């Protein structure tokens, strides 16, 4: 393995979301949706640079399929998202 490949690999850390007692079952659909809405509520209240908001984003990016995230984003843009994102 070349030195540059080794350096590049050590730069990225793959992690998944830890246990959340609110969602003890194996189906994580609700957990995905809740973290997505929590992220946008947090951003609306504190701004994108607020560090705890980034945890919600990491969680929904880990839990939600990309197609769902794209659909949620589209619904938010169209004003048809099924949950309130007001803080």
CA-nearest of 6, 9, 31 to 20 is 31
Exposed/middle/buried for residue 45 (C-beta within 10 Å: 0-12, 13-18, 19+): exposed
Asked if pLDDT for residue 49 goes beyond 80, the answer is yes
User: Are the C-beta atoms of 40 and 72 separated by less than 8 Å?
Assistant: no
Predicted pLDDT of residue 59: 93
Asked if pLDDT for residue 36 goes beyond 70, the answer is yes
Q: Where are the alpha helices (DSSP H) in 1-87?
A: 3-11, 29-46, 51-63, 66-78
Exposed/middle/buried for residue 55 (C-beta within 10 Å: 0-12, 13-18, 19+): middle
Predicted model pTM: 0.73
Confidence band of 27 (pLDDT split at 50, 70, 90) = confident
């Amino acid at each position: 393995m070349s030195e540059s490949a080794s350096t590049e690999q050590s730069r990225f850390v793959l992690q998944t979301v830890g246990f959340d007692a609110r969602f003890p079952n194996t189906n994580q659909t609700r957990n995905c949706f809740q973290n997505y809405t929590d992220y946008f509520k947090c951003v609306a209240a504190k701004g994108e640079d607020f560090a705890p908001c980034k945890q919600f984003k990491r969680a929904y990016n880990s839990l939600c399929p990309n197609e769902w995230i794209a659909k949620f984003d589209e619904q938010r843009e169209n004003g048809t998202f099924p949950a309130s994102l007001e803080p």
